[in-house]
């Protein structure tokens, strides 16, 4: 077995983390032969709950978990990290203006970015989940100037998965039969789900989604609004925000960073634009279609489809345009 990697999950006493931590610990994300030191960070008032999460992880008796550290201290949580999954953020409450939400989260993610800068490995992969995810990710990246900006990404995979699921439900196939949907923009109701390049497997053959459905009005109307408003619909029905599906999307996102995307497929990720792709201004955190290729023996594999590709090796990954 390889050396343990050190993985941080913030907001670790929350409902998303509760659905996420077992999958990390059992090898579903980083592989069945990758030992893990799992670091759980939350605010001081949540330490009692976090102790319960720690006990449950211990009781799972997961062989890959070499250590589990529960803490409310940034110098402990961010030290020597290989991966940081920043789930925790200030939630939007009734009556709260968006500017108030942004102000509260800027403070959180400036502090966490500074902690990454001070304590983490410079090769750390940072995945921001807490909303507003695009803004929070950019804030963290700007607060950690010595960590390559290409190491920061935010979660739009939940929207990507929602789009795949809607197509699959409409056609009566599984989500695995649908590939290459795109989420453009922000993880919010302003996002744009795009199936112009999407394919679906029907009767053993891949066909374009538009050709498969033959329902342009649905694809250009109800499909888009359903994906855009899915989070709000879950909250209305559940009285809580998405947790199980968010955790699954985090696993998908991190696994693709770690192992690369399947040949011929691309996924959606919020990453920092260089200003040369798809007309998106420089230095904007935006969801793009992305392919990820693993680096072996010093050579990069060729990429496909998108002008904006992430390449990955064991220490760092970078964009190539």
Instruction: Provide the CATH number for the domain around residue 242.
Output: 3.90.110.10
Residues 179 and 292 in one domain: yes
Which residue has better confidence, 57 or 100? Answer: 57
- Domain edge (last residue) among 154, 182, 197: 154
Same domain, 187 and 213: yes
Confidence of residue 297 (pLDDT cuts 50, 70, 90): very low
Q: Where does a domain end: 154, 169, 201?
A: 154
DSSP element (H, E) containing 237:
helix 230-238
171 and 284 in a single domain? The answer is yes
187 is catalytic: yes
Question: Same structural domain for residues 55 and 105?
Answer: yes
Residue 138 lies in a domain: yes
Indicate if 209 and 130 belong to the same structural domain: no
At 208-250, the pLDDT tens digits run: 999 999 999 999 999 999 999 998 899 889 888 899 999 999 9
pLDDT for 97 equals: 64
- The CATH number linked to 27 is 3.40.50.720
Do 108 and 232 lie in one domain? The reply is no
Catalytic residue among 160, 187, 197, 253: 187
Number of domains observed in the structure of the chain:
2
- Asked if residue 214 and residue 258 are part of one domain, the reply reads yes
Residues 129, 185 within the same domain: no
- Computed over every residue of the chain, the mean pLDDT equals 89
Q: Is residue 113 part of a domain?
A: yes
- Work out the pLDDT band at 294, boundaries 50, 70, 90: confident
User: Which pLDDT belongs to residue 98?
Assistant: 66
Whether residues 10 and 94 share a domain: the answer is: yes
318 located within any domain: no
Say whether both 97 and 150 belong to one domain: yes
Residues 197 and 134 in one domain: no
pTM: predicted TM-score of the whole model, two decimal places: 0.90
Euclidean distance between CA atoms 164 and 177, whole angstroms: 9
Domain presence at residue 55: yes
Range(s) of the domain holding residue 272: 156-310
What's the pLDDT tens digit per position in 138-181?
Answer: 999 999 999 999 999 999 999 999 999 999 999 999 999 999 99
Q: Say which range, 144-148, 173-177, 186-190, 316-320, has the weakest mean pLDDT.
A: 316-320
DSSP E strand boundaries for the chain: 5-10, 36-41, 65-71, 83-86, 125-128, 152-154, 178-179, 182-184, 192-194, 199-202, 205-208, 267-272, 285-290, 292-294, 309-312, 317-320
276 occurs within a structural domain: yes
Binding site, annotated residues: 42, 92, 98, 105, 129-131, 162
C-beta of residue 144 within 8 angstroms of C-beta of residue 121: no
Q: Are residues 213 and 279 in the same domain?
A: yes
Give the separation between CA 310 and CA 241, rounded to whole angstroms: 30
């Amino acid at each position: 077995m390889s050396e343990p990697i050190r993985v941080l999950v913030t907001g670790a006493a929350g409902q998303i983390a509760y659905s996420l931590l077992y999958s990390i610990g059992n090898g579903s994300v980083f592989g069945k032969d990758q030992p893990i030191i799992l670091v759980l960070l939350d605010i001081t008032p949540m330490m009692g709950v976090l102790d319960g999460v720690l006990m449950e992880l211990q009781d799972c008796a997961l062989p890959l978990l070499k250590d589990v550290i529960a803490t409310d201290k940034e110098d402990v949580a961010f030290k020597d990290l290989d991966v940081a999954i920043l789930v925790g953020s200030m939630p939007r409450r009734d009556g709260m203006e968006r500017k108030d939400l942004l102000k509260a989260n800027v403070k959180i993610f400036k502090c966490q970015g500074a902690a990454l800068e001070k304590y983490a490995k410079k090769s750390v992969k940072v995945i921001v989940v807490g909303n507003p995810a695009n803004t929070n990710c950019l804030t963290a990246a700007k607060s950690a100037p010595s960590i390559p900006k290409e190491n920061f990404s935010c979660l739009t995979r939940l929207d990507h998965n929602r789009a795949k699921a809607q197509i699959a439900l409409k056609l009566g196939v599984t989500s695995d039969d649908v590939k290459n949907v795109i989420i453009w923009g922000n993880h919010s109701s302003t996002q744009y789900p795009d199936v112009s390049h999407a394919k679906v497997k029907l009767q053993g053959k891949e066909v374009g989604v538009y050709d498969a459905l033959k329902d342009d009005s649905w694809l250009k109307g109800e499909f888009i609004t359903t994906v855009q408003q899915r989070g709000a619909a879950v909250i209305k029905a559940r009285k809580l925000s998405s947790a199980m599906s968010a955790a699954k999307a985090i696993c998908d996102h991190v696994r693709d960073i770690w192992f690369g995307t399947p040949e011929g497929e691309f996924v959606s990720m919020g990453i920092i634009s260089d200003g040369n792709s798809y007309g998106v201004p420089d230095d904007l955190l935006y969801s793009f279609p992305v392919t990820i290729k693993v680096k072996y023996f010093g050579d990069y594999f060729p990429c496909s489809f998108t002008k904006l590709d992430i390449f990955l090796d064991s220490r760092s990954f970078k964009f190539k345009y």
